[in-house]
Amino acid sequence: MARKLQDMLIFLLIILKELHMPEAYCSCSSTSSCACNNLGLTSIPQNLRTSITYLSLTDNHITSLSQSQFVRYRSLGTLDLARNRISRIDNRAFYYLTSLTSLNLQRNQLANLRADMLEGLSNLQTLELNNNGINSIGAGSFSPTPQLRTLNLHENNLTSIPPGIFDDLIQLQTLDIHDNRIRIIPLNIFTNLQQIINLHLHGNEISTISTFVDLPQLTQLYLYSNKITNIEPGTFTNLPRLSVLRLDHNKLHTISPGSFSGLANLQQLQLQNNHLTSITIGQYQFLELIHLYLNANNITHIPDHAFSNLPKLSTLHLQTNRISSVSMTAFRGLAFLNTLYLYDNHIEEIQEYLFVGLSNLRDLRLQNNAISHISLNTFTGISSLSHLYLSDNRIKTFPIPALTKISSISALYFQNNRIQVLPLSAYTMLVSISTVNIDQNPWHCDCRMVPFRQKMTGSQTFENQITCEKPSNFLGQKLKDVNPTDLTCEGPNIMRFERGDDKKLAQGGTLHLVCEASGIPTPDITVILPSGQNATVESGGRMTVDMNGTITVTDVTVADAGVYTCIAASAAGSKFAVLSVTIAQEPSAPTFSQGE
């Protein structure tokens, strides 16, 4: 009988142990802190010390909360219930947690907030409700939490903000409501938030803003990724401490006068990814502005003194616009500018002395434009530049004279341009630069590259970036692998100069000529018209010359009749040929002769 009683007691102990297995695995590092994370729990464990002040229950399967579950843990200061399945919180569930200062309920399945849900949390300072499915907030929901400093409601399904919902949160410093579906900011919704420092409203569907007043402590305001099309004058007038304003990824077309009045302490303004077509920021006295983001808009021109009222500007983002022209005084007054991004635009020419006055500029990015020429004084005034990006342009000549004015350069990017040869002096310059990329240029490995080739030792990285494109017998070879004695040139020779078709040529028609030339290097073609004017591959209008020597004259007139001269010239010499063309009902038989 005694044996059976003993066996029964052992069996009951095993059953009790099994019932409390998950709770037994809670990690309690001290008498005041317990972590019961990822244990498959479906309710709040009831066998922990009643004196604990920290309890983490993240990544479990809890679906509901009730008052009875917390009645024994009245000393809790921090409660973390993130990433559970909580969809129901009973009336006054946290009533006895009067010492709680931090409550994390993010990433659960709450659909709404009620006025009785947070009762008892009179000392709560941080409340995280983000990433639930909250679509409504009942009136007075935050009245029980007057000490709240941080409220996170981002990434829910809110479509509106109930009037007066934040009136009792006079201590609130951070309010995050980004990535909901809010369309309208009610008038005076933030009136009582005198202590607010950070306000996150990005990622909603807000179309108009006009209500950010009476927030004297606000330093960061995030309104990006909305649908804002207009900023009412005076919107930011009473934000004396605002230092960060993000309005990027909206639908702004213009900046109205008075839009940014009163932002005397603004240090970062982000307006990228809108539809702005012009620069109007310079009209504001942003004496403290350090970072300005205007990239990814539709700006086409940078006018005179565009940023002259921004004396402390350090970073200026103008990339990914449609900028085709920049005034010579556009950047005057920016003595502290350190970084200037102008890449991904339509710039064809950089005016001389454009960067004068930017003595602190270190990073200049001009890649992916249409720049074809670097002038002698393009970089005058920026001798402290360390990083220069000019890749993906149309530059034909390596700009040694201009680069000699940048003594401190340490990174140079010239890949994917149209440079064909490098002179001897370029080698000395490239060796002195730590990072160089001159890859993907159409290198011509001929007699012009002999001095440069003779300096190559195989020890410099850039030497592996020069792959021959011409002449054809060196196609695909590295210049460093070609014997200098094999780098030769051949004088130009005009193989033919004739009409490109035998169609009848009359006034108003199109004349096609072909001037086929050979030589190493490939000679440049110049055509002298009957009028005496010259045409090259860079010419436009009625007369065009292609790289392959095809000449086209459109809308032919009587004045286009006469002698045409084709000149083929290179470093190895020149040749010319003449062709007589008559404008008539029947094309006349052309005559052809060649001379030197």
pLDDT at 24 over 50: no
At residue 548, the pLDDT reads 81
Looking at residues 237-259, what average pLDDT do you find? 91
Q: At residue 118, does pLDDT exceed 50?
A: yes
CB within 8 A of 564, min separation 6: which ones? 497, 513, 527, 528, 529, 530, 551, 578, 579, 580, 581
Write down the pLDDT at residue 23: 45
Contacts of 172 (CB under 8 A, 6+ apart): 148, 149, 150, 151, 166, 193, 195, 196
Residue 110, pLDDT > 90, answer yes
- Find the angle CA(110)-CA(112)-CA(116) to the nearest 5 degrees: 105
In this predicted structure, the answer to whether residue 12 has a pLDDT above a threshold of 70 is no
Rounded Cα gap, residues 291 and 303, in angstroms: 19
How is 346-405 classified by DSSP, letter by letter? Answer: ------TTTTTT-TT--EEE--SS------TTTTTT-TT--EEE--SS---S--HHHHTT
User: What integer pLDDT is reported at residue 208 of this predicted model?
Assistant: 84
- Residue 589 in this model has a pLDDT that exceeds 80: no
Least confident of 35-49, 74-88, 351-365, 565-579: 565-579
pLDDT in tens, 51-68: 999 999 999 999 999 999
Mean pLDDT of 304-315: 95
Question: What are the tens digits of pLDDT across the range 166-178?
Answer: 999 999 999 999 9
Proportion of the chain above pLDDT 90, given as a percent:
75
**What does the mean pLDDT of the chain come to?**
91
Tell which residue, 453, 492, 445, has the closest CA to residue 471: 445
0.85 exceeded by pTM: no
| CA separation, residue 163 to residues 115, 134, 185, 292 (Å) | 14, 17, 9, 34
CA gap 167, 163 in Å, rounded: 9
pLDDT of residue 40 exceeding 50, the answer is yes
328 pLDDT band, cuts 50/70/90, is very high
Which one of 281-285, 437-441, 524-528, 534-538 scores highest in mean pLDDT? 437-441
Residues 596 and 575: their CA atoms lie apart, in Å, by 5
Average pLDDT of the segment spanning 156-165 = 94
Q: Check pLDDT > 90 for residue 567.
A: yes
Q: How confident is the model at residue 21 (pLDDT cuts 50, 70, 90)?
A: very low
Q: Is 463 helix (H, G, I), strand (E, B) or coil?
A: helix
pLDDT at site 186:
85
Whether the pLDDT of residue 585 is over 80: the answer is: no
| Residue-range domain boundaries for the chain | 21-157, 490-595
Q: 542 pLDDT exceeds 60?
A: yes
Identify the architecture of domain 490-595 in CATH. Answer: Sandwich (2.60)
Q: What gap in Å lies between CA 499 and CA 497, rounded to an integer?
A: 7
pLDDT, tens digit, 9 for 90 and up, residues 170-215:
999 999 999 999 999 888 888 889 999 999 999 999 998 877 777 8
Q: What is the mean pLDDT of residues 517-521?
A: 91
Q: Which CATH architecture describes the domain 21-157?
A: Alpha-Beta Horseshoe (3.80)
